[in-house]
Structure 1
Amino acid sequence: MSDPTVADLASWAAALAGLDAPGDSATDIPDAARIDLLRGLERLKGAVDAAQHRLAHAFEESQRAEQRHAGVPEQRVGEGVALQVALALRESHQRAARLLGAARVLCTEMPQTLAALSEGRINEWRAMLLVRETACLSEEHRRTIDEKIAGDDDVERLGTKHLVSSAHHLAARLDSAGVAERQRLAERDRRVTIRPAPDTMSYVTALVPVADGVAMYAALKRHADAAAAAGDGRGRGQVMADTVVELVTGRSTDVPPAVELQLIMTDRALLAGDDEPAHLPGYGVVPAEWARDLVGRAASATTAWLRRLYVLPGGRSLMAMDSRRRTVPAGLAAFITARDLRCRTPWCGAPVRHVDHVQPHRDTGTTRAHDLQGLCERCNHAKEALGWSSRPRAGPVHTTETTTPTGHRYLSFAPLLPGDDEAA
């Protein structure tokens, strides 16, 4: 059988899109056949995942060889490869980099795991767990675990926890010192992260050594139990959450925090008093009523800053700011960050870390809002690799066009203002 083409894949996708579509007669496909199809599709998903890993690894090797041939310094070989894969998959740069790392391992060190994935005996998540749990081992030990677990027919019967525990057991037996060293090194990755949650809430997560985590949770639980015994009307979870906020910020949860609200306003919001959503840095879009309530409470207890950014009448894009300087002034950088909200690389979504010239300043790029974009650090470095180019494009919404080394072109649009559909 010849290798499938892009047209073949599109045809298969179209055929699957019509499988048991809503509106079909419930008797067209017997339920027993539906179960068989579900299993068959899961096997197909494994084969597709394995094919993606093989293709990604082959693409990376080809791009690295091409960069070396072009004289790229060895320390920069490989730059931009993950971003090309990310754009093709409509994924973030970080996730594509992880996929390339896993693909390299599967294709060069864990052939049995790759085969089990190709045959649908394990799914992609379990294959990634085997890659992760053997990361601290030598290639020889990794191949041993690959053979004993993924090479065994029984791997299809293993649940996720059993699979991981089997890998742990073998890794500790083969290289106990290496496993211990990995656990020591893991402490270097301790960190605190934040991500949005529904209804103007957020998840603040601390990754700490297990002993510290258990001790922290036990202390918070004791404090919550004592508060409940003293007649505190809050629930245990509420007391624990409030205690964390109070200990970290040094203020009572009854006192609103100092906050900067970037209220991105249309002409109607400015002149007619419409309720437009606000943008809270570090979180995202919040309802206008919630923002007004926060500012109102903050005004009597602490400091609140309001930054109002306006759009052109009847439009959905923020107005431009100019500068003759090569480096981006702080005010203009704040404007670009507010306009773009997230990294402008399509499907990335990471926080803006660099305000970047769309077209390099050395190539006549100017330091104006139209010629600038917000990028994460990883994407900004990647676009400097061999064969990449980008330029701004004219239009009512700030638009950039990026061309990859393979000639693929991707458009990036500044986010449209939420709740302003009438102005489109």
Structure 2
Amino acid sequence: MTTALAPRPGTPVPAAAAEAARIAELVALRNRIDAEIAEEVRAFARAAVEARLEQIAAEQVTVEQVEATVVDRLGRALRVSPTRARAQLRIGRDLHAGLDRVRTSYGAGELDQPKVAAIVAAAAGLDAGERAEVDRRLSSYDLPSLGLRRVADLARTIVAEVAPEKFAERARAARRDRHVTISPAGDGMALLRAYLPAEQGVTCYAALRKAVTEHWVGSEPVTRTRGQIMADTLVERLTGAAPTEAAAAVELQVLVPVESLVDTAGGPLPVELPGFGPVPAEFLVEPGRATWRRLVTREGVVIGADSRRRTFTGVLAEVIRSRDRGRCTAPHCDAPIEHLDHLHRWSEGGSTTLENGAGRCAFHNLVREIPP
């Protein structure tokens, strides 16, 4: 009598092993397709440039204009942004300028596009001979088994060894290019990125972590997480105000579907912060968010706008001053305008609009605020 033995712990089940092999085949196929696309991109760019050589020689177009045209056409063909199209162009070009072993591994499906892009980016600015030496040294490593970050760091390290002066100049150029950017993160959030020298970035992060420790050992009850404290501290130190006060200092334009104003039977529709996506309408009435301008839309097209600013500023303020001829509008008063006031008080629901604004002298504005 035989007894069936259970598979040892960690031994793959045949069906699972077959599925894993199938996935590996698909990944390799995807990598080979990406490599073919890189070859086609290079061939397309080469043909496009050759077709323009006479125009370039006659100075009818510049090399930069030709490159921009190629990138534009590639972006439309690949259905990607110009930035990604330019990166694809760089991969197709540089893989034939010394990175032969990397190109072969790419075509065999062993390396994926992110790893190849990291190697190409690390070798940017090198000549063909220097790239060939980088390629030779990389071949001694098992690149397919390494993670993307390790491949990128390894490539940069080898570049620093092969071309130390070019690597140093590139590092100096990167420090000159320090900057801050903002991009949408969805759900009404934004990513604020600072591109800084490493020591400055580490110092900034350490200062925020120190703020967390100081808050934890302080007398106030801890009601926020570490991340919330660090984020709030960043806002406070950059703006000099609490997060809600800082938000109130900036005007936000908000796209509001007209359907949400005339028909709420189906529930409130989300509003949209241009460039940052949809957010719940309730967020816009929280304390500290009083400075926003509503743009009413119908089927995505702006059909009207109003102002929900707390005060009259900018062009609106100038229009009111001009309309009132620079003089106080209180009866019998002829003093110069010192303040712009809401005819229907803001605290009572009055809006910051041309029709609800009036020029006042300092005296009459003060008198109006005295309780009856």
Fold shared per TM-score above 0.5: yes
Matched, 1:60 2:45: yes
Deviations 1:62-96 (A, max 9, x none): 11222334564124222222122222222112111
Matched, 1:203 2:191: yes
Query: CA 1:89 to 1:181, structure 2 compared with 1: closer, same or farther past 3 Å?
Result: same
Whichever residue aligns with residue 211 of structure 1, its letter is: E
Matched, 1:48 2:41: no
Deviations 1:309-330 (A, max 9, x none): 343xxx554459xxxxxxxxxx
Give the SS at the match of 1:58.
helix
Matched, 1:85 2:74: yes
Q: Is the 8 A contact 2:182 2:191 kept in 1?
A: yes
Whichever residue aligns with residue 53 of structure 2, its letter is: R
Deviations 1:23-67 (A, max 9, x none): xxxxxx933322222222222112111100010111111112223
| Cα drift, residue 99 of structure 1 | 1.0
Partner of 1:277: 270
Give the SS at the match of 2:180.
strand
Give the SS at the match of 2:68.
coil
Shift >6 Å, 4+ stretches = none
Query: CA 1:245 to 1:288, structure 2 compared with 1: closer, same or farther past 3 Å?
Result: same
| Cα drift, residue 176 of structure 1 | 2.0
Matched, 1:33 2:18: yes
| Cα drift, residue 159 of structure 1 | 4.1
Alignment counterpart, residue 239 of structure 2, candidates 243, 249, 262: 249
Q: Is the 8 A contact 1:196 1:283 kept in 2?
A: yes
Query: CA 1:309 to 1:166, structure 2 compared with 1: closer, same or farther past 3 Å?
Result: closer
Aligned counterparts of 1:279 and 1:252: Cα–Cα separation in 2: 24
Query: With CA pairs under 8 Å and 6+ residues apart, which has the higher RCO, 1 or 2?
Result: 1
RMSD: 2.6
Aligned counterparts of 1:160 and 1:284: Cα–Cα separation in 2: 30
Deviations 1:255-276 (A, max 9, x none): 242332323332x434345733
Query: CA 1:270 to 1:198, structure 2 compared with 1: closer, same or farther past 3 Å?
Result: closer
1:372-387 mapped onto 2 (5 Å cutoff): none
| Cα drift, residue 161 of structure 1 | 4.5
Between the two proteins, what is the percent identity of the paired residues?
28
Q: Is the 8 A contact 1:63 1:78 kept in 2?
A: no
Aligned counterparts of 1:36 and 1:128: Cα–Cα separation in 2: 26
1:23-422 mapped onto 2 (5 Å cutoff): 30-69=15-54, 72-75=60-63, 76-150=65-139, 152=140, 154-232=142-220, 233=222, 234-255=224-245, 256-257=247-248, 258-266=250-258, 268-272=259-263, 275-291=268-284, 293-294=285-286, 297-299=288-290, 304-311=291-298, 317-319=301-303
Give the SS at the match of 1:77.
helix
Aligned counterparts of 1:130 and 1:33: Cα–Cα separation in 2: 32
Give the SS at the match of 1:170.
helix
Whichever residue aligns with residue 55 of structure 1, its letter is: E
Partner of 2:339: none
Give the SS at the match of 2:219.
coil
Query: CA 1:246 to 1:145, structure 2 compared with 1: closer, same or farther past 3 Å?
Result: same
Q: Is the 8 A contact 1:121 1:156 kept in 2?
A: yes
Q: Is the 8 A contact 1:225 1:236 kept in 2?
A: no
Whichever residue aligns with residue 305 of structure 1, its letter is: W
| Cα drift, residue 154 of structure 1 | 3.8
Aligned counterparts of 2:69 and 2:252: Cα–Cα separation in 1: 35
Whichever residue aligns with residue 262 of structure 2, its letter is: L
| Cα drift, residue 113 of structure 1 | 1.0
Whichever residue aligns with residue 230 of structure 2, its letter is: M
| Cα drift, residue 165 of structure 1 | 4.2
Aligned counterparts of 1:53 and 1:140: Cα–Cα separation in 2: 21
Unaligned runs of 5+ in 1: 1-28, 321-330, 332-424
Give the SS at the match of 1:38.
helix
Unaligned runs of 5+ in 2: 1-13, 305-314, 316-372
Whichever residue aligns with residue 63 of structure 1, its letter is: A
Whichever residue aligns with residue 62 of structure 1, its letter is: A
Partner of 2:335: none
Give the SS at the match of 2:96.
helix
The count of residues paired between Structure 1 and Structure 2 equals 282
Which structure has the greater CA radius of gyration?
A: 2
Q: Is the 8 A contact 2:134 2:159 kept in 1?
A: yes
| Cα drift, residue 253 of structure 1 | 1.9
Give the SS at the match of 1:42.
helix
Query: CA 1:199 to 1:164, structure 2 compared with 1: closer, same or farther past 3 Å?
Result: closer
| Cα drift, residue 112 of structure 1 | 1.6
Aligned counterparts of 2:143 and 2:293: Cα–Cα separation in 1: 58
| Cα drift, residue 110 of structure 1 | 1.4
Whichever residue aligns with residue 85 of structure 1, its letter is: L
Aligned counterparts of 1:157 and 1:305: Cα–Cα separation in 2: 51
Aligned counterparts of 2:272 and 2:50: Cα–Cα separation in 1: 45
Aligned counterparts of 2:104 and 2:77: Cα–Cα separation in 1: 24
| Cα drift, residue 136 of structure 1 | 4.0
Give the SS at the match of 1:107.
coil
